[in-house]
Structure 1
């Protein structure tokens, strides 16, 4: 198998499981003195299955590697990742599940994220990867290794993605002092109002109640609530960029936009005739978009009363958390659906011949009342924690 790596491009991706199996059972004193039997690991079984399927083994290693058509540099810190390709620079924070990994794994992950961003449409070219981390360079150029199983598996994942697109990867070590732009991107992040997110446990409860939602329209890789999401800027894993500029074919979406964009979200829902959208926004009756919001409802709004309902990138609490009256509004761009919901609501006002109302009107958002639309009273429901 090792000898085949020079002719079979994918060979190193399909014998590491066997190598790790042998290392786990090889005696520390040297070669075994007798025959030993031990069960195959799932990883080793998958490797053997690949070699036994002769149709998958093709002699695909190129004698002459194509000239380098794309060069980019990456770097990682414990805070986030950065990548630079010519005049294009980007970076981002680590997802909570990633931030617990070793720095070497984070360096390799930054290569993967940069590759998926800058080379997402590339095909049959060579890519030069400039990295200031020696283990990352070694694991990439060897298509894995036996010193670290997490690094080996991530390197194989990167190479499988590249092989599927007929890409050649050439990793090169550069001194850290020459990698300043990528390093800066991995440590400095532009604060955005879209960095705020609902508490993940609260979102799951909300999704069970009002969902299931299919897409998160305002998110990034580090704070997305759903596997399918749209980002505001370039993002390696995002389904789309800028939710306002793309067509929406899903049945049930989720949006927690910056508050200044709530009115624009309502306009998008109406223009594109969205089937159903769970919109998280404050109950602010004095905003010009509030009557429009009430007129688009297709279900009772759900108040989110926990003071820790909103989180920032570093578990930071929102400065307005005690005054937000954050609410989940279920709206639709279809006028017929909104009218059908309004018909189920109780009437509001004085009947003909009845007594006039004494005292002030209830302020929307207080006493469990969201407001009135077309003479119908809308009450809140609550999702407490």
Structure 2
């Protein structure tokens, strides 16, 4: 007697439920259109648009980068849909695609490729949870220029701190609650903000969120936003750990050294950062990097010897117990 796999049992359950499925009879019963998504993919990234206007984009993981382009195209559809959690039914999501293969697979929800069917099942499950069904429409590559450009955006600012280094900071000055500048691939915390819509992001554009209250923020902003991130921490009167370049010539350097209670120069003996395009260790930036601990004015600091006195600690700083957050994925 042969035992069925979990995937086979799931497929069998789906077939048994066709009699009452919302996917049956769709030619007779027209549902309202809940949204329109335009998507595209390249070898290392994906991009999408909601209503031909609101962008979503990201890099593929190493596994996705090794997949065939048809699988990447289906992944781009799934990730774009996951980037807009407010899209819910009952109704229809229209996908605009420049791949005839993707249009056929989406409309039929079947393929001879096992790798492609894995993504189709994930997409079908996401649609089912939201009481949606999908319809695919073809458009020319020229007409899909915006989504194509998003998928090829290399985003030179997408640097993430190596997890082992982050965990040291989390143990010393944590527990940290939210990652303010991250993507679904490089976030160190379950809750994160992103610059452009990403799957599972709590919000887009960290500067539009309030950082105060019970939050203990982890901020590793792009180099060009170092001053803006520090100003946001000061304006919201919150606690935070900021990862910033060592740049004494900048006017914000004087301010952060008076705002923070403790700081440490991060090690540069090994790759310190990862870059999204490579989905792993890449070329580290050439500048020296420091981490600063900032406590709100009303909270007594546990690491400061006196008010407004910055303490430079050695690496690794003396750790105090803090539960390590589980990495995503």
Fold conserved between structures, TM > 0.5: yes
TM-score (norm 2): 0.76
CA distance in 1, matches of 2:141, 2:231: 48
Are 1:277 and 1:332, in contact at CA under 8 Å, matched by a contact in 2?
yes
User: 1:267 Cα deviation (Å)?
Assistant: 3.3
2:66 is the counterpart of 1:100: yes
- 1:292 Cα deviation after fit: 4.2
Aligned residues: 308
The within-5 A match list for 1:1-385 is 37-46=1-10, 58-60=20-22, 61=24, 63-66=28-31, 68=33, 70-84=35-49, 85-117=51-83, 120-145=86-111, 147-176=112-141, 178-187=143-152, 189=153, 191-193=155-157, 195-248=158-211, 251-274=215-238, 276-298=239-261, 300-307=262-269, 308-312=271-275, 313-314=277-278, 316-321=282-287, 324=288, 326-338=289-301, 341-343=303-305, 378-383=311-316
Residue in 2 aligned with 1:26?
none
Per the alignment, in what secondary structure is the counterpart of residue 116 of structure 2?
Answer: helix
Cα 1:136–1:201 change in 2 (3 A) is: farther
2-side partners of 1:182 and 1:111: how far apart? 11
List gaps (5 residues or longer) in structure 2: 318-329
* C-alpha spacing 1:227/1:148, structure 2 compared with 1 (3 Å): farther
CA distance in 2 between partners of 1:105 and 1:180 (Å): 20
RMSD between superposed Cα atoms in Å: 3.5
CA 1:103/1:213 → structure 2, altered by over 3 Å: closer, same or farther?
farther
For 1:292 and 1:226, locate their aligned partners in 2 and report how far apart those are by CA, in whole Å: 27
Q: Which has the higher contact order (CA 8 A, sep 6+)?
A: 2
- Give me the whole-angstrom Cα distance separating, in 2, the residues matched to 1:156 and 1:228: 26
After superposition, what is the alpha-carbon deviation per residue over 1:138-188, rounded to whole angstroms, capped at 9, x for unaligned? 43223344x23332232222222223333231123445455444333322x
Distance 1:257 1:148, change over 3 A: same
Question: How far apart in 2 are the matches of 1:284 and 1:179?
Answer: 42
CA distance in 2, matches of 1:66, 1:377: 61
Report the equivalent of 1:352: none
Are the structure 2 counterparts of residues 71 and 251 from structure 1 closer, same or farther at C-alpha, using a change threshold of 3 Å? closer
Structure 2 CA distance for aligned equivalents of residues 279 and 296 of structure 1: 11
TM-score scaled to structure 1, two decimals? Answer: 0.67
Counterpart CA distance in 1 for 2:273 and 2:80 is 29
Instruction: Give, in angstroms, the shift of residue 337 of structure 1.
Output: 1.9
Structure 1, 101-110 or 168-177: larger mean CA deviation: 168-177
Alpha carbons 1:305, 1:382 under 8 Å: kept: yes
